[in-house]
């Protein structure tokens, strides 16, 4: 790995001349604020925070940093969960907080072009005026740039796809200061290599996205909610397969394991029982067709031995159902005051969900750990949340994490479905990708030969 | 560009030892059969046709060819439309005709793993037993390998996505003989660079796909057809925008221009009139919701001044509607006997369709050409089919082609939505991609330094 250099006085002056003295800071408070994300990974401070205002400035910052061998780590909203924006090797924290504009709304094309610093919730609040929204929903008000970097997803991916599936074009600054445009505003594209998809999910290690054209969806006219409790995980997953197989394009299809359902029941005052739960959202164009969809879902669930079933087209009741799910982490924090958290993200083929959930339960037991399992069942994505409040327990959560990740890979899945590799998953890349990891290294070497772009992420040091 | 070498006796022996003498041929008939696709591009013969049986054999063939500087051009079904599989520099035509098996069907995961030589229609005939299908539908019985190479799409992309959107994992042979696996069987993936999407659409120039895991969809329970005639292209496109904006996820949304509708009316004995047509397919889970969808579509079309509207849930009538569209090329061949054809593929943002269609009409007029315009309106993809039967007309079709492609790029679109770059679109890559084309060249150089993989495609010689 390149021997990086500290930010010299000369480099500082060059950067100042590019972004202006008001758009950079070496104040400790600014650096500390951008030294950690929402994960358990240890903080690390950059030497300098830089807030570019334009794509050209981003490219010029990279050009200067590249020539000076100063590492650059992009910063969005800090809501990531795998240490992705932590400036592990110091250098520059390249913050997009001042590049947060909508560049162009193309409502008739169901597209919007934005700068990366805008939060997706803020974006959706604006788009709602036109009846449109950007579908990927990672939860916290993540920046679009961060969502692009990690290929973020969320509950509605089962219908609308992940971030990657909803981007048509990007503008990217390369390590050497070139500024390129990838893709086009056409939905169908077959014109050469898919650089757009290569950049998305590369966590700022191949280039830094400075603008993106996103696909938008019309906000559904009718949204329904369904809550169903099943005797076993296997029965719940059978229902997932049957519902998808019916052709119903359910907008969210979430799984909550028995112990987590029990905790939510107790703490939130809802009657969710203590068996595995499926929580769904159904989008329709008419109330009448929503009723038909809900009847079909009920029929499928009944045939698979559902223990409790509630479907509603009432929006207050639907929001109530989802509130308990969305507030889960806050609930956990209340129940485990002062604890720290290991948040795990893995994904497997749907049919392997029962095997994975069994394995998680067994691993928690073996390691004397408490853990809560929820998942985006419609796409086989599982999160395990483990509290710890001492070093011995932390070590056991780390062991459990590794065991479960290897199991997910063994089941034909992946070490990360939506949080990205960041720091925590780098050590699994070799097992997951084999010789393909060498190809990723080749691409990294070709586009960032000095390794200044977000070093320490995706690729482990050895 | 590398100076390629002919297939020497020594190389021939090495190849024979890898695939066996029965799996290669230098017979002129075999080479001639694989010297052209379905486009107007001039044929060119390979020196040798090789039919590998396994992924390892593919990789070994590449390793040998790479060391000997012999170019390799993969061959699927020969149904491509931009010269993509023509072995421009001779060498080896690497045919996947004997690698056409289903490797594994994972029905509960809505996935199938296949070898690249299988035809998608053949695959779908088998999958139908399980109520599943692979959605991209380029028309001719294209091989899956060819569809992956060109990121093929079709009528149903508006709902189900292009080939790229329906692939989870691949196995790829690299120029140096390495065999890698990209992606995983998980629907959500955030684990490093998206090599799967990089390989798809690279037309065999970065590596050769030897296996792919495809996403499948359930076959819809109820399929309806809609035919609507509009006074102007602009009104038809307004209807497309309004239908998409309603949240209806129409499975196909095709455009046929006035002159083409008139020709179909006359030749096929249908009453399509001579105004722009929208032809739709709607997939639903119940007959009752299909009726609701059709009523909504009718309401939208009526509000936009539709001149004739017919919707049907009767499958015989629906097939009849689509038959005329699917047979268009055969109809044209009958009306223009002995003619050759320039088939053009371009795509723009939906809102630019009226401007593009106007420009096409004007360009045909200016160049004294006849042309037929159809398109996948739901995703802004347009095809212009121009007959010619003498050299002067052929030249004018070439001029018209260039004019129209540049217009599509200017409108924010692309030179190719689904046919790929191949030979014909290479000269537009610089205009379309600018500096990003240099990045594509960098990737090509990194993965295929000797340039043996499908040379002459995507990148133009200069």
Backbone phi, then psi, for B374, in 5-degree steps? -130, 165
Mention every residue, 6+ apart, whose C-beta is less than 8 A from residue B211.
B55, B103, B113, B114, B115, B116, B170, B171
Overall average pLDDT of the B210-214 stretch:
98
Residues of A in contact with B425 (CB under 8 A): 191
**Confidence class for position B460, pLDDT limits 50, 70, 90:** confident
- Between CA A110 and CA A216 the distance in angstroms is 5
**Cβ contact (<8 Å) for A164 and B194?**
yes
Q: Comparing C-alpha atoms, which of B280, B283, B230, B239 is closest to residue B257? A: B230
pLDDT exceeds 70 at position B164? yes
Nearest-5° Cα angle at B96, B95 to B99: 145
Our CA-based measurement puts residue B444 at a distance from the nearest CA of chain A, in whole angstroms, of 9
Residues of B in contact with A240 (CB under 8 A): none
- Between CA B99 and CA B114 the distance in angstroms is 9
Give the ipTM of the model, two decimals please: 0.97
**Cβ contact (<8 Å) for A180 and B436?**
yes
- Between CA B406 and CA A211 the distance in angstroms is 24
Query: What domains does chain A contain, in order, with CATH numbers?
Result: 9-97 (3.30.43.10), 102-218 (3.30.465.10), 222-328 (3.30.70.2190), 336-433 (3.30.70.2740)
**Cβ contact (<8 Å) for B293 and A283?**
no
**Confidence class for position B199, pLDDT limits 50, 70, 90:** very high
User: Could you tell me if A201 lies within 8 Å of chain B, comparing CB atoms?
Assistant: yes
Q: Go through chain B and tell me how many residues it has.
A: 462
**Any idea which residue has 């290991």 for tokens?**
A342
**Cβ contact (<8 Å) for B244 and A110?**
yes
Are the beta carbons of A432 and A411 closer than 8 angstroms? no
User: Could you tell me if B412 lies within 8 Å of chain A, comparing CB atoms?
Assistant: yes
Percent of residues in chain B assigned helix, strand, coil, to nearest 5? 40, 20, 40
What is the pLDDT at residue A50?
98
Order of strands across the sheet that contains A340-347: A308-312, A222-229, A277-284, A252-256, A372-376, A381-388, A340-347
What is the pLDDT at residue B140?
85
Nearest-5° Cα angle at A392, A390 to A396: 115
What is the pLDDT at residue A139?
86
Which H/E stretch holds residue B217?
strand B217-218
Residues of B in contact with A288 (CB under 8 A): 288-289, 292
Are the beta carbons of B75 and B121 closer than 8 angstroms? no
User: Could you tell me if B376 lies within 8 Å of chain A, comparing CB atoms?
Assistant: yes
Give residue-wise pLDDT tens across range B266-315. Answer: 999 899 999 999 999 999 999 999 999 999 999 999 999 999 999 999 99
**Cβ contact (<8 Å) for A246 and B285?**
yes
User: Could you tell me if A375 lies within 8 Å of chain B, comparing CB atoms?
Assistant: no
- Between CA A436 and CA B123 the distance in angstroms is 28
**3-state SS, residue B94:** strand
What is the pLDDT at residue A2?
63
Model pTM above 0.90: yes
User: Could you tell me if A223 lies within 8 Å of chain B, comparing CB atoms?
Assistant: no
Give residue-wise pLDDT tens across range A227-281. Answer: 999 999 999 999 999 999 999 999 999 999 999 999 999 999 899 999 999 999 9
Regions of chain A with pLDDT less than 50 = 462
- Between CA B24 and CA B33 the distance in angstroms is 14
Q: Comparing C-alpha atoms, which of A116, A294, A74 is closest to residue A203? A: A74
In eight-state DSSP terms, residue B245 is: H
Residue A343's beta-bridge partner residues? Answer: A385
User: Could you tell me if B416 lies within 8 Å of chain A, comparing CB atoms?
Assistant: yes
pLDDT exceeds 60 at position B337? yes
Nearest by CB to residue B429, choosing from A191, A285, A345, is A191
Our CA-based measurement puts residue B181 at a distance from the nearest CA of chain A, in whole angstroms, of 6
**Mean pLDDT computed over every residue of chain B:** 96
Share of chain B above pLDDT 70, in %: 99
User: Could you tell me if B163 lies within 8 Å of chain A, comparing CB atoms?
Assistant: no
Nearest by CB to residue B191, choosing from A348, A429, A445, is A429
List the 301-330 stretch of B: residues with Cβ below 8 A of A: none
**Cβ contact (<8 Å) for B351 and A108?**
yes
Overall average pLDDT of the B235-241 stretch:
95
Angstrom CA distances, A158 to A219, A377, B190, B286, B408, stand at: 16, 9, 15, 21, 33
Count of C-beta atoms within a 10 Å radius of residue B433: 24
């Amino acid at each position: 790995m390149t021997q990086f250099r500290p930010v010299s006085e000369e480099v500082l002056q060059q950067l100042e001349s590019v972004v202006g003295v008001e758009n950079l800071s070496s104040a400790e408070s600014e650096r500390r604020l951008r030294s950690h994300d929402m994960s358990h990974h240890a903080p690390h401070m950059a030497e300098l925070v830089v807030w570019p205002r334009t794509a050209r400035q981003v490219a010029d910052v990279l050009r200067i940093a590249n020539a000076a061998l100063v590492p650059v780590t992009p910063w969005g909203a800090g809501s990531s969960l795998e240490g992705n924006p932590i400036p592990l090797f110091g250098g520059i924290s390249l913050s997009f907080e001042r590049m947060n504009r909508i560049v162009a709304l193309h409502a008739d094309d169901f597209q919007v072009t934005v700068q990366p610093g805008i939060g997706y919730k803020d974006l959706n609040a604006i788009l709602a005026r036109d009846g449109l929204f950007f579908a990927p929903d990672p939860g916290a008000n993540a920046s679009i740039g961060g969502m692009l970097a990690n290929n973020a997803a969320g509950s509605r991916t089962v219908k609308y796809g992940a971030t990657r599936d909803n981007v048509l074009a990007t503008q990217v600054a390369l390590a050497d200061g070139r500024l390129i445009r990838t893709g086009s505003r056409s939905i169908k594209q077959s014109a050469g290599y898919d650089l757009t998809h290569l950049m998305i999910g590369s966590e700022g290690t191949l280039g830094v996205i400075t603008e993106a054209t996103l696909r938008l969806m019309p906000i559904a006219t009718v949204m329904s909610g369904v809550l169903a409790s099943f005797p076993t995980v296997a029965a719940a997953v059978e229902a997932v397969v049957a519902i998808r197989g019916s052709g119903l394009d359910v907008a969210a299809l979430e799984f909550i394991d028995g112990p987590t359902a029990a905790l939510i029941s107790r703490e939130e005052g809802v009657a969710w029982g203590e068996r595995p739960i499926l929580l769904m959202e159904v989008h329709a164009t008419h109330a009448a067709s929503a009723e038909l969809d809900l009847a079909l879902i009920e029929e499928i669930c009944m045939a698979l031995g559902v223990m409790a079933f509630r479907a509603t087209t009432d929006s207050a009741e639907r929001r109530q159902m989802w509130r308990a799910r969305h507030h889960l982490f806050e609930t956990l924090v209340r129940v485990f005051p002062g604890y720290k958290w290991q948040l795990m993200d893995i994904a497997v083929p749907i049919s392997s969900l029962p095997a994975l959930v069994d394995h998680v339960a067994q691993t928690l037991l073996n390691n004397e750990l408490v853990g809560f399992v929820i998942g985006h069942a419609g796409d086989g994505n599982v999160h395990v949340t483990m509290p710890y409040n001492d070093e011995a327990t932390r070590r056991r959560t780390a062991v459990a994490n590794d065991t479960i990740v290897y199991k997910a890979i063994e089941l034909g899945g992946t070490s990360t479905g939506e949080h990205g590799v960041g720091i925590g998953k780098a050590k699994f890349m070799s097992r997951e990708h084999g010789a393909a990891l060498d190809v990723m290294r080749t691409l990294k070497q070709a586009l960032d030969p000095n390794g200044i772009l977000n070093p320490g992420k995706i690729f482990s040091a050895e």
